[in-house]
Amino acid sequence: MIWIELFLTFLKIGAFTFGGGYAMLPLIQSEVERHGWLTQAEVVDFIAVSESTPGPLAVNMATFVGIRTGGILGAIIATLGIVLPSFIIILIIAKCFEKYKKSKAVGGIMSGLKPAVVGMIGAAFISVARTVFFPAGLSVSVFSSASLWVFLGLFAVTTVLAFKKVHPIKIILLSAVIGVGAGYGLGL
Amino acid sequence: MNKNLDLFLTFMKIGAFTFGGGYAMIPLIQREVCDNKKWLNEDDILEVVAIAESTPGPVAINAATFVGSRTAGTLGAVCATLGVVLPSFLIISVISSVLKAFQESKAVQYAFMGIRAGVLALILKAVYTMFMATKKHAVSYVIMAAALVLTAFLKIDAVFVIIGCGLFGLLWSILNRKEQSDDMD
């Protein structure tokens, strides 16, 4: 049943995401794509939407996937699922945070989790890069296509801008304009 | 004003005006919760960051629940969390129907082809920022590489990678502590 599936999937994502923003990308990718709720490209598109609208990526994603698969009720259930684990854990921890913070076990687990999250976002980067540059899959003819070079160039420019701390919304707007220009210009 | 209602409205404002979510929300929480409402002090905000980093779930939810619970107990936590979630929920509900309407348009499809390259750059920036914030230690690098290979190439479920790396970190810290205490003997 779609409601239970939505609830449990987002409960899982909420319970296993450590750190904000893109840290949840690997989990979202694997869960949402496995269920066939969104394609890889749709996930990437939605990251852009989420960066350009207020609110946490997690909640935005849950609402979006929920509404697509199960209407408004689906959106409520998915959002509830993603919120519930943090909510319950924080309520418990808020009362004994000092003890929790100084716990050697928590410190040990975190020392393993933090680098793992970096590696997993690196993996997300690789899989998103495949979608962006080789949407039709790897093939020799792809390398000669002009669009590949346009998108590589666009990626290079936006990377420089991102590292210069240009606001994500401006980067997304610029990419959209260039995408439209390249699309009509190259007759894709 | 009723404190629970006040928490709800304050976090609704925070939810409505944070773009990108996560840590982008912390300065806004600081201004509203410390400077304006004086519910918490500066030290408490550092605690909010620490707690968000070391517990599962989105930073925004962690922070809202924590501040709500500190300020007005469990009901306060419910109100603050509901407040921070509501704006995204409403905005995305509207946007998803708008997106559907424009999906067929050629121009929108081209725009998203470009946007994907831009998002890829944002992801790379996120990897770099998080890499710089991680402890510079051989074990960290090994875990990083292992997590990357396991997820990207061996297609291991992300949940298992997280559990595995957490357990590894725990074991490693226990073994290290033993060594250190052995040295002291």
Element (H, E) at A12: helix A2-16
- What gap in Å lies between CA A104 and CA B67, rounded to an integer? 25
CA dist A109 and B44 (Å) reads 23
Helix residue ranges, H only, A52-167: 57-94, 97-102, 104-133, 140-144, 146-163
Q: Write the ipTM.
A: 0.85
Name the residue facing A22 among B85, B96, B123 (closest C-beta).
Answer: B123
Note the pTM of the prediction, 2 decimals.
Answer: 0.85
The chain A residue lying nearest B171, using CA atoms, is A108
Which 156-185 residues of chain B touch chain A by CB within 8 A? 157-159, 161-163, 165-174, 177
- Residues A3-49: pLDDT tens digits? 999 999 999 999 998 876 788 888 888 888 889 999 888 888 888 88
pLDDT in tens, A149-181: 888 999 999 999 999 988 888 888 999 999 999
> In this structure, are residues A93 and B59 in contact, taking their beta carbons and an 8 Å threshold?
no
Considering only residues 14 to 73 of chain B, which have any Cβ-Cβ distance to chain A shorter than 8 Å? 15-25, 47, 50-62, 65-66, 69-70
Of A45-59, A70-84, A101-115, the range with the highest mean pLDDT is A70-84
What are the sequence ranges of the domains in chain B? 3-101, 106-184
